[in-house]
Structure 1
């Protein structure tokens, strides 16, 4: 009889870090269909208003201005973004794998339908970011402002939003079970029933409890 190999439960608790080279080549002018492999782009790299089907592998973008740009079909792997401006950028259906964003700006960025796998955002500004119908696996967002963020039908697996400001965020029909929300501001979120199965801290019990009771139509009377 064949022996069944035993399976050990994964102990992974955080996103995998990007696998980056020790040195980078300078970035060429971006054009449709480009593959950047081991490239570093800086503030001098200018992007057209619309560029399609870019692939970035093992790259570093530092201080790059992507505000208002449309990058359709972007696939990004093992890449880090540092102090980049993505405000108002359209990145719908983008796929990020092992990507970090540090001190970046995402105000009004469109990430609808995006795939976010092993992604970390740290110290970013992401007011009104749209993640409608996006999917996150090991997406960790830390110390980031997400006021008014739209996570309608967002699907989370092994995700965390730590010490984030989620005031007025839209969570309707989101699947967030297992998501860690410790230290985050959750007042006035829309769709509080999406918090079912999430993890919060004792300091969040009162505001979250009040929202859930209101959503369930429970009245507290004398």
Structure 2
């Protein structure tokens, strides 16, 4: 009797995503390129998230689309620069595919968390998802043995989020920006990133 084995799927070029930092870069591009293509939209757009409507009042697509939608050109530009920074950090830290998977999972989770608080009338932007990425970078640096750098990074992230929250909740006006900042999304993204980075785990030390 022939042994039963699961078929192996061979996707041409998939090996590239196994290279350190490659899958992370792919997620960063998945955030940035559609946002750049879409350009600014209004808060009433179907791309936006509407937390007062709750989980039942928002389509499942709204778990993803807010990261691609931005209220103004300046809002979009700021998040594209931040996304570029996340991409560079992931490449420099040689983050493994599991870190990219954690970021991908934290993306919709961030928006689901926002739907639990109806104080935010509508949400557009990638800042929540980018904060999730920043949290994942810190956790992976810690688990890979670079704890001094990780500690500084995570402490800076926590201080930033707390400062953002001190400006106001769920949104705040920040000098120099032409659209309100969703401070609540920064908290939601950070919590999602920390959770999924911890959930997926990583070896204590990884070869670099």
Q: Same fold (TM over 0.5)?
A: no
- Structure holding more strand per residue: 1
Structure index of larger Rg: 1
| Structure-1-length-normalised TM-score | 0.25
Q: Which gives a bigger RCO, structure 1 or 2 (Cα 8 Å, sep 6+)?
A: 2
- Structure holding more helix per residue: 2
| Structure-2-length-normalised TM-score | 0.26
